[in-house]
């Protein structure tokens, strides 16, 4: 694992500031793909980052700035982190770690510019995309840059296709870390939309404009996502995470354009299934999670009987009590409503019964 060398370094020297810092960063990125994982890892990230600051005296300006910028980020002090990562990139524009974290600041900042009616989200998604794209351009196999980038692309598509937007709050005296949920007192909903660049549009204004141009722009962004996915899988052809991410992005795209041309939906589902099979084939010891992952892709591709058989086999091996979230939809679509409902309730998943379109 990426964290192993830093753990070993701290065993040899418990005052090694950069080892604490890199371990905090590695722990953050290991958990960043899941809200639940990030929430669980948050306290450890905070402890490691605090120790890095504690022992940072004597570091170079660059190393000290990295340590303090990440500490501000994990505290939820996004304005300070934004300024510090900006200074690092001004000094060294090809600093991949600073690029990744500068993009992460914009990805996580959930506050408005002001509390008044003119307030808009502070997050600059144009800056985030540029930072993540530059990071993966400099290091195409650096998988950390892809996840948040594709999440932004999905957010743009969801807004354009009317599938939901985020909520934001006027900044208060209390910082909220990336793994905490803010107590929103006066939440306002804003959607990221693509025109000449990404802009914030109040959710209440979305129905009063023509969404066709927004969808065209979101489609263009999606095509760019696919090109980047193809690049990632080409450079990291033996990495299951690259193929799994590609499958997820294609499947999410299919869900967004559910009423699109049937042949296009079939093509997306087929490409997602191909990528998913590659991911599982590359996984050293595939388990029940992988089986339900494939069953969901088969379901989307119209292979209901195969998906149902795979789901039954996976459920028999893992048991209902340990079945993952992905099992609920697969089992529901194959008529096993009782187990599906219980798994959905246990994993806090809101279950939608959508026939063969359930993924």
Whether 350 has a pLDDT exceeding 60, the answer reads: no
Bridge partners, residue 190, by sequence: 166, 202
Task: Supply the pLDDT for residue 54.
Answer: 96
DSSP string, 98-120: HHHHHHHHHHH--BBS-SSTT--
Q: Is the pLDDT of residue 2 over 80?
A: no
Per-residue pLDDT tens over the stretch 284-319: 999 888 998 999 999 999 998 999 899 888 888 888
Comparing CA positions, the residue from 100, 110, 49 lying closest to residue 79 is: 110
More confident residue, 323 or 64: 64
The SS3 of residue 291 is helix
- For 179-212, write each residue's pLDDT tens digit: 887 677 778 899 999 888 899 999 888 878 888 8
Share of the chain above pLDDT 70, in %: 94
Task: Report CA torsion sign: 190, 193, 197, 201.
Answer: negative
DSSP 273: H
Buried b (16+ CB within 10 A) or exposed e, 181-206: ebeeeeebebbbbbeeebebbeeeeb
Range with top average pLDDT, 30-34, 82-86, 154-158, 304-308: 82-86
More confident residue, 108 or 257: 108
**Owner of token pair 């299934």:** 273
In angstroms, the CA 16 to CA 65 distance is 16
Whose structure tokens read 């957010």?
A: 155
Give 98's Cβ-side CA count (13 Å radius): 22
- 58 with 44: CB under 8 angstroms? no
Quote the Cα angle for 280-285-290, to 5°: 40
Q: What is the pLDDT of residue 346?
A: 76
Among candidate residues 187, 122, 207, 150, the one with its CA nearest the CA of residue 33: 150
- Measure the CA dihedral 79/148/344/269, to 10°: 160
Non-local CB neighbours of 205 within 8 Å, separated by 6+ positions? none
- Over 60: is that where the pLDDT of 335 sits? yes
pTM: 0.80
Q: What percent of the chain has pLDDT over 90?
A: 38
Dihedral sign from CA coordinates of 136, 214, 349, 328 = negative
Confidence of residue 348 (pLDDT cuts 50, 70, 90): low
User: Can you tell me the distance from the alpha carbon of 295 to that of 286, in angstroms, rounded to the nearest whole number?
Assistant: 13
């Amino acid at each position: 694992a990426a964290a192993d060398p830093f753990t070993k370094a701290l065993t040899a020297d418990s005052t090694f500031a950069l080892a604490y810092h890199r371990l905090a960063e590695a722990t953050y990125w290991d958990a960043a793909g899941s809200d639940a994982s990030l929430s669980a890892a948050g306290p450890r990230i905070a402890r490691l980052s605090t120790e890095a600051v504690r022992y940072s005296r004597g570091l170079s300006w660059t190393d000290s700035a990295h340590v303090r910028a990440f500490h501000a980020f994990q505290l939820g002090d996004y304005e300070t982190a934004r300024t510090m990562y900006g200074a690092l990139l001004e000094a060294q524009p090809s600093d991949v770690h600073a690029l990744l974290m500068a993009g992460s600041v914009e990805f996580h900042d959930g506050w408005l510019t002001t509390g008044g009616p003119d307030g808009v989200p502070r997050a600059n998604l144009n800056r985030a995309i540029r930072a993540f794209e530059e990071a993966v351009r400099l290091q195409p196999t650096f998988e950390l840059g892809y996840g948040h980038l594709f999440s932004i692309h999905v957010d743009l598509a969801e807004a354009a296709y009317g599938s939901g937007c985020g909520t934001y709050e006027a900044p208060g005296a209390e910082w909220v870390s990336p793994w905490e949920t803010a107590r929103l007192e006066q939440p306002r909903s804003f959607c990221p939309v693509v025109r000449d660049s990404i802009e914030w549009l109040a959710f209440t204004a979305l129905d009063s404009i023509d969404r066709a141009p927004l969808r065209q722009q979101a489609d263009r962004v999606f095509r760019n996502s696919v090109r980047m996915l193809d690049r990632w899988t080409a450079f990291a052809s033996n990495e299951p995470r690259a193929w799994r991410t590609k499958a997820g992005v294609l499947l999410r795209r299919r869900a967004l354009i559910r009423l699109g041309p049937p042949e296009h939906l079939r093509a997306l589902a087929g490409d997602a299934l191909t990528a998913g099979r590659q991911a599982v084939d590359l996984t050293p010891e595939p388990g029940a999670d992988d089986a339900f992952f494939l069953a969901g892709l088969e379901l989307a591709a119209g292979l209901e009987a195969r998906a149902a058989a795979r789901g039954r086999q996976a459920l028999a091996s893992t048991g209902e009590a340990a079945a993952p979230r992905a099992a609920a939809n697969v089992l529901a679509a194959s008529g096993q409503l009782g187990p599906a409902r219980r798994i959905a309730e246990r994993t806090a998943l809101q279950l939608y019964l959508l026939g063969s379109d359930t993924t």
